[in-house]
Amino acid sequence: MTRILAILASLLRGLLQAAFIVMLTFFLCRVMPGDVVDVLGLEGGLSAEQQAEMRHSLGLDQPLPLQLVNWVGHALAGDFGRSIRFDRPVGEMLGTALPVTAKLAALSFCFGVALALLLAVAATARPSRWLDAAIDVVNTWSIAVPTFCAGVAAILVFSIWLGWLPVIGGLLVPVLVIGLDNAGQIVKSLREELREAVMLPHVRTARAKGLSPWRIAFAHVLPAAMPVVLALSGLVLGGLVAGSLTMEVLFGLPGLGSLTLNAIHGRDYPIILAAVTLIALALVAINTVVDMLHRLIDPRLS
């Protein structure tokens, strides 16, 4: 009962955060100099009367709070409006873009966290200079090499020099690039956290029981470091949205990132808002899951 209450509370907190993010995005869009009509006007040479008429028909001449309320009302009913530039339903456009991004983000997240965990746990179970060196390399790589550089380099190596890209195709290279970057962000902290967890008294008990180093690392050290693992994973998730945006543009993937970037350039408000809402809700959902996991792992919290 209390467990369910706590989860509901964290869900509610998350939804409030999401609402705040959407609202902020709404107003920030409008603070940017020039609106969609200006952009279209520059491209198509519209007269001042035509522009005013267009603003009126799009509802852009109404007060901002009223526009927000209208949008929220429609959005709650599942209607995200039509793209101003492409004149297609926003829901449909997101529907085709979302799976691409979701797959990219999920795969690179899993790859990154798995790689970091594997390196850190291995270095805990069997401390060696080589593993520590490998951890340092991955860590330095992610600090020093921006993903777009790594992405360009990967294109150069895989598709131009090796000519593999047609064979591998699609997501593999961007997943490797983002995943490696994610792993580098967390692996060092993870290693340090595990190094400290090894000093815990219950780990000494496990050693006194004569368990193997791998069993100790997985069953006794890792659970103790789990809160930090989860917190670090959350950190990576936040960065994933930005990371996948770069990769989508670089590799020409028709995902949420490309869509949003184009929409921002064209001030295509409905798409921006819908995409941001979607991303915010996804993050809230993930955070709730992480919170539940945390409670599931640590019996003292239930």
Partner 1 sequence: MRPILDIADLGIAIAGRRVVRDLSFSIAPGETMALIGESGSGKSMTAAAIMGLLPPGARIAERSRLRFDGLPLRPEDDAAMRPLRGRAMSMVFQDPMSCLNPFMTVAGQIDEALQRLGTGNRAFSSEVDTGSREENPSKQRDGEFSRFGETRKYSSGQRRARILELLALVELPDPAAIARRYPHELSGGQQQRVMLAMALAAEPRLLIADEPTSALDATVQAEILRLLKNLQRRLGNALLFITHDLAAAAELAHRIVVMQAGRAVEYGPAAIVLADPREDYTRKLVSTRRMLAAPPQTPPVARASEPVLRIEELVHDYPARRILGRPFRSLHGVSLAIAPGETLGIVGESGSGKSTLARLAIGLARPGGGEITLFGTSIARMARLDRALRRRCQIIFQNPYGALNPRLSVEAAMREPLELLGLSNRDDRRRIEAALVDVGLGGDHLARYPHQLSGGQRQRVCIARALLSEPELLICDEIVSALDATVQMQVIAMLKALQAKRGFAMMFVGHDIEIVRWVSDRIAVMHRGRIVEQGPATAIVTAPQDPYTQTLMAAMPGSIGSATAAGRGEWRTPFKEHVG
Applying CB under 8 A, the residues found at the interface with partner 1 are: 2, 5, 125-126, 200-202, 204-215, 218-220, 223-224, 226, 297-300
Smallest distance from the beta carbon of 192 to partner 1, in angstroms?
Answer: 15
Rounded to an integer, what distance in angstroms lies between the CA atom of residue 183 and that of residue 196? 20
Nearer to partner 1, 165 or 293 (CB): 293
Report which DSSP code applies to 301. G
Smallest distance from the beta carbon of 1 to partner 1, in angstroms?
Answer: 9
Q: Which residue has the tokens 């001449």?
A: 61
32: its two tokens: 């940017």
199: its two tokens: 């000093």
Smallest distance from the beta carbon of 235 to partner 1, in angstroms?
Answer: 23
Nearer to partner 1, 84 or 122 (CB): 122
CA dihedral over 273, 275, 279, 285, signed as positive or negative? positive
Nearer to partner 1, 248 or 291 (CB): 291
Smallest distance from the beta carbon of 116 to partner 1, in angstroms?
Answer: 18
Smallest distance from the beta carbon of 121 to partner 1, in angstroms?
Answer: 11
Give every CB contact of residue 181 below 8 A, 6+ residues apart in sequence.
112, 141, 142, 145, 147, 150, 243
Q: Are 8 and 292 in contact (CB under 8 A)?
A: no
Could you tell me which residues are beta bridge partners of residue 89?
82
Nearer to partner 1, 27 or 214 (CB): 214
Tell me which residue of 81, 77, 42 sits closest to 60, measured CA to CA: 81
Smallest distance from the beta carbon of 201 to partner 1, in angstroms?
Answer: 4
Rounded to an integer, what distance in angstroms lies between the CA atom of residue 54 and that of residue 218? 62
Rounded to an integer, what distance in angstroms lies between the CA atom of residue 232 and that of residue 228? 6
Nearer to partner 1, 158 or 218 (CB): 218
Nearer to partner 1, 88 or 207 (CB): 207
Give every CB contact of residue 44 below 8 A, 6+ residues apart in sequence.
none
Nearer to partner 1, 114 or 219 (CB): 219
109: its two tokens: 């997240």
Task: Fill in the amino acid letter for 6.
Answer: A
Smallest distance from the beta carbon of 229 to partner 1, in angstroms?
Answer: 13
Nearest 5°: CA angle at 65, between 64 and 66? 90
Question: What is the crossing angle of helices 269-297 and 2-31, to 10°?
Answer: 160
Could you tell me which residues are beta bridge partners of residue 82?
89
Smallest distance from the beta carbon of 196 to partner 1, in angstroms?
Answer: 12
Nearer to partner 1, 96 or 205 (CB): 205
